[in-house]
Amino acid sequence: MGYVLITGASSGIGYELAKEYARHGNSLIITATNQSRLELVKQELEDKYPVQVIAVAEDLSQKGAATQFYRKIKERKLTVSELINNAGFGCVGEFVDIPLSFEESMMMVNMVNLVGLTKLFLSDMKDAGSGKILNVASTGAFQPGPWIASYYATKSFVFNFSEAIRMEYKKYGVQISTLCPGATKTNFTKRAGKSQMKHAMEPEKVAKIAYYQFQRNKNVIIPGIWNRLGQIPPRKIRSLFIEVLQKRLAEN
């Protein structure tokens, strides 16, 4: 049996997913940029559950990081049966005021290296005739996001990319699903320069819903009834609401 690989596993949804998988007896490969934080998570999970946890730091904001990380896993002769591309970040603010270097790093994490990891591990899964991939997008994937434009655009990419390859690789026995959480109480909001949203979900709840629906081969997973109901209004109305909300958050 292979390992479950979770990116961005040192905090937030990724950390809660790691706990959920360990609770169900799955051995893990966890990655994030901070090795010391990963070691703490590894120790916590191994102390609490009868699983093996391998912590491998990687900075997915760097070009070529996906290939470099994949080689590390292959050198250890580890098999990945499930890949969870959770790592990601964004920034709220007027588009021209956000440093280009920040946006380039964001696109590298949210899209380029996500595609890289998916391609590399999916190739192994195709050969094996089995495997699962969960790519984490956002409810922001479903419409433009004024004042958080590039982040929403990256998540729209993840959503459409994941839907497409799900159709391609179903015949090979590989399941690909997309998680689209709404506002969640994680460190993401701090890094994005946002104050915490009043009705944000707890990451533990998001992870539990994601785990169970992913195991049931749900195509698109949107945790929380309000997040699902939020997709009902016309796209233009949603975009106008987001413009007001994100501008307010940016100014706080």
Could you read off the pLDDT of 34-58 as tens digits, one per residue?
999 999 999 999 999 999 999 999 9
Q: In the structure encoding, which two tokens stand for residue 51, read together?
A: 């699983």
Position 241 scores a pLDDT of 58
Q: Nearest 5°: phi and psi at 136?
A: -95, 115
pTM to 2 decimal places: 0.91
Q: Is the pLDDT of residue 251 over 80?
A: no
Q: Binning pLDDT at 50, 70 and 90, where does residue 190 land?
A: low
pLDDT in tens, 233-244: 676 676 665 666
